[in-house]
Structure 1
Amino acid sequence: MKQMDQHLIAIDLDGTTLNNQSQLTSETIRTLRAAAKQGHIVSIITGRPYRIAQHIYDQIGIHTPMVNFNGALAHIPHQMWSKEYEIKLTQELAFDLVNHRQQLGIETITLESKNKFWANRETKDVPEFLPSHLTPKQRLKASNVDEDPITIIIEYQPGHEQEIIKRVNERYGDFVEPSIWGGPYNVLELIHRGTHKEAGMYYLAKQYGISKSHIIAFGDEHNDREMIDAAGLGVAMRNAIPAIKQLADDVTEFDNDHNGLAKYLQKYFKLAI
């Protein structure tokens, strides 16, 4: 393939590449591998931490960079990459919240870096995303936390989100950006201010010399907004929220539970599956 024909294919995971059981279908795996074999750069760009995205990367069987934490980490799994970056928060912020968790209505605080996580308690309230089991070294205390976190995830009591956001903005607003997950969970996530998926997407494109016109991005939710808007071709899933569909350049014919991403790529790149 000529370099000018190479595309960056930026794929969100939940609600996009994964079906409603949070799984990859065999058709999706075959399609992404075929796109990579054509010479395209297939990259996962997800809000998930690496801890719960690595197995998906391995299943697909690609060897290109991935972006985690909504743009705060870019790396190539299982190898050293000289272009890897991390955008971190501070331990000071984390322990300020820990020390005031009762008055702020905070149930669970989880700190996560690329390869480690710590939490003040175990919880089954948010399956997979928050830890249901902790080793002694994963308990959130000063003697265990040996590096700054990339993200802080807060599970709070209903009605306390604005109180937590106010404290974060007043004390750390110059570098911290709070975002509410929404949906059925009372969860607030903190990452470095100005960190969004499109920054990671553009960073990867730059490393491979791929222009904006050759970036195709897929997504379905609020945290895909900047990425969909910034891509040369922003594609919303059939199951995407209305705001993302309105913003996108195109919408897949099928939803995430019917191989929508795979079928779109097959048609767009004329992939034989």
Structure 2
Amino acid sequence: MTKKLIAIDLDGTTLNSQSLISTRTADVLNRATAAGHYVSIATGRPFRMSDHFYQQLKLETPMVTFNGGLVHKPRQTWEYEREISLDKEIAFEILAQKEKLNLDFVAAENRETFYIDTFDQFEGMFFATDTVSEANLFHNLKSNPTSLLIKTKHEFAADVSHSLQTQFNNEIDVRTWGGPNAILEIVPKGVQKAMAVSVIADSLKIKPKDIIAFGDEHNDLELLEYAGWGVAMKNGTDQLKGVANDVTTKNNNEDGLADYLEKYLSL
């Protein structure tokens, strides 16, 4: 059988609503690897919030984090590695407009660290940490970040996105996070998962037609369009289902990805 590159989104796809990989899903992905296929994580999460899943699945493949801002092989040297950054001055400029734009916080992050302007609204789950210190405050940001996260209220989100996109049109893309909070992610212009997964495919000599990709949200659109076989989760957005080749019959709480992949690859 032809070797496949299996690109998997995390939240709403590989993870259940408790943000865990079930035993069954891990088992099927491990069997896919054992059968000679390549399983690669492609997530909007930062690296430090996705590395434990990479380790749980015992992966050695390259992974995509920050929606494509970073593609690398964790703890390994890899000649295709790439990290795309934003000018840190954009971060400071957005922070200066915090009140005008009705923002609750502004955070900047890269592979290893994050910086936030205030601990007032700090929620450890966003940053996969319970320990923060003065070192994490914004004035310590010295290098260009891979992405920015800003939190606002749902009623302001569209205006904030429009305002930032207008001001920094040639430099950034603004993406929304799904979920209960109005979180906007700001990434360098043109950064998206398909571009990063294509780097992995090239490195493995895998043609796009031999890529199967799973996702559930609008940040998976380009990836599902690019992959030879794009699969939207049953719980995915209607927009994503519209570009997908197929839709799982079960959702992310019912091991929908594992169920589909097991049949698709005849595992």
Q: TM-score, normalised to structure 1's length? A: 0.91
1:52–1:128 Cα contact (<8 Å) kept:
no
CA contact (8 A) 2:116 2:136 kept: yes
1:136 pairs with one of 134, 137, 144: 134
2:105 to 108, 114, 117: 108
Judged with a 3 Å threshold, the aligned counterparts in structure 2 of structure 1 residues 38 and 246 are, in CA distance, closer, same or farther, namely same
Q: CA deviation at 1:170?
A: 3.7
Superposed CA deviations along residues 120-165 of structure 1, whole A, max 9, x for unmatched, are 1236676622466421211111xx1121101001112454334433
* Identity across matched positions, percent: 37
Match of residue 40, structure 1, among 19, 37, 42: 37
Paired letter, 2:26: I
Match of 1:196 in 2: 192
Letter in 1 for 2:33: A
> Does 2:204 align with 1:226?
no
Post-superposition Cα deviations, 1:21-70, rounded to whole Å, max 9, x if no partner, equal: 11011111111111111111110000000111011111111110100011
Aligned with residue 168 of structure 1, among 156, 161, 164: 164
In the TM superposition, residue 259 of structure 1 has moved relative to its aligned partner by: 1.0
Report how far residue 168 of structure 1 moved: 2.3
- Alignment partner for residue 68 of structure 1, among 65, 68, 72? 65
Letter in 2 for 1:186: A
Q: SS in structure 1 opposite 2:206?
A: coil
Tell me which moved more, 59-68 or 103-112.
103-112
What root-mean-square deviation, in Å, do the aligned CA atoms of Structure 1 and Structure 2 show?
A: 1.8
Q: Which residue of 1 aligns with 2:206?
A: 210
Select between 255-264 and 175-184 the one with higher mean Cα deviation.
175-184
Instruction: Report the equivalent of 2:54.
Output: 57
Instruction: Say whether 1:258 aligns with 2:254.
Output: yes
Rounded Cα–Cα distance in structure 2 between residues aligned with 1:236 and 1:125? 32
Deviation of 1:268 after TM superposition, in Å, equals: 1.4
Query: Which of residues 79, 84, 89 is equivalent to 2:81?
Result: 84
User: Does structure 2 retain, via aligned residues, the 8 Å contact 1:124–1:132?
Assistant: no
Q: Distance in 2 between matches of 1:42 and 1:253?
A: 21
- Residue of structure 1 equivalent to 2:244: 248
Amino acid across the alignment from 2:134: P
Cα shift at 1:112? 0.7
- Contact kept, 8 Å, 2:174 with 2:184, in 1: the verdict is yes
The answer (yes or no) to whether the contact 1:126–1:185 under 8 Å persists in 2 is no
Alignment partner of 1:153 is 2:166: no
Q: Distance in 2 between matches of 1:232 and 1:207?
A: 17
Q: 1:132 to 1:69 in 2, by over 3 A?
A: same
* Cα distance per residue 1:173-211 (max 9 Å; x no partner): 111111233542122110011111111111111111101
Unmatched 5+ stretches in structure 1: none
Q: TM-score, normalization: structure 2?
A: 0.93
Kept in 1, the 8 Å contact 2:104–2:121? The answer is no
SS at match of 1:15: helix
Determine if contact 1:175/1:193 at 8 Å carries over to the other structure.
yes
Contact 1:8/1:210 (<8 A) preserved: yes
- For 2:119 and 2:93, the matched residues in 1 are separated by 20
Query: Which SS does the other structure have where 1:114 is aligned?
Result: coil
Supply the distance in 2 between the matched residues of 1:157 and 1:16 (Cα, whole angstroms): 26
Please identify, of 50-59 and 99-108, the stretch whose mean Cα deviation from structure 2 is larger.
99-108
CA contact (8 A) 2:44 2:66 kept: yes
Q: Is the 8 A contact 2:153 2:181 kept in 1?
A: no
Matched residue count = 266
1:180 maps onto 2:176 in alignment: yes
- What amino acid sits opposite 1:35 in the alignment? A
Extract unaligned runs of 5+ from structure 2. none
Q: Which residue of the partner structure matches residue 95 of structure 2? A: 98
**C-alpha distance in 2 between matches for 1:123 and 1:66:** 33
Contact 2:6 2:38 in 1 (8 A): yes
Structure 1 counterpart of 2:13: 16
